[in-house]
Structure 1
Amino acid sequence: MSYHLALGLALLLALLLALLLALLLVLLLALLLALLLVLLLVLLLALLLALLLALLLVLLLALLLLPLPYPSL
C-alpha cells in the first residue's frame, strides 16, 4: 500500500514540476514576445522620425532652391 502511495506522490511531484517548467517557459516566451514587440515599436518610431526629418529637409531645400513667385520685400 505504501508503495502505491509513494508512486502516486512521485507522479504528483513530477506533474507539478512539469507544470512549473511549462509555466516558466510560457513566461519566458511572453517576455521574449514583449521584448520583440517593443523593439519593433522602437524601430517603427525611428523610421517615422527619419521619414519626418527627410520630409522636413526636402521642404527646406525646396524653399531655399525654388524662386519665389512674388518679389520678397
Structure 2
Amino acid sequence: MLLLLLLLLLLLLLLLLLLLLLLLLLLLLLQLLLLLLLLLLLLLLLLLMLLLLLLLQLLLLLQQLLILLLLLLLLLLL
C-alpha cells in the first residue's frame, strides 16, 4: 500500500515537472516570437528610413533639375 502511494506521488511529481517544462518551453517560444516580431519591426523601420532617404534624394535631384531649367530659361530670354 505504501509503495503504491509512493509510486503515485512520484508519478504526480513527474507530471508536475513535465508541466513545468512545457510551460518553460512555451515561455521560450513566446519570447522567441516576440524577438522575431521586434526584429521584423526594426527591419520595417529601416526599410522606411531607406525609402525616406531615397525620396529626399529624388527631391534634391528634382530641385537641381528645376534650378537648371530656370537658368536655361533665363539664358534663352536674354
TM-score by length of 2: 0.84
Structure 1 residue corresponding to 2:24, chosen from 18, 21, 24 = 21
Moved over 4 A (4+): none
The RMSD of aligned alpha carbons is 1.3
Instruction: State, as a whole percentage, how many aligned pairs show the same letter.
Output: 61
Unaligned runs of 5+ in 2: none
Unaligned runs of 5+ in 1: none
- Give, as a single letter, the amino acid of the residue that structure 2 aligns with 1:22: L
Structure 1 residue corresponding to 2:41, chosen from 38, 41, 48 = 38
Following TM superposition, by how much is the alpha carbon of 1:3 offset from its aligned partner in structure 2, in angstroms? 1.1
TM-score by length of 1: 0.89
Question: Hey, what's the Cα distance between the residues in 2 that align with 1:42 and 1:61?
Answer: 29
The answer to whether residue 11 in structure 2 is matched with residue 11 in structure 1 is no
Higher Cα radius of gyration: 2
1:2 paired residue number: 5
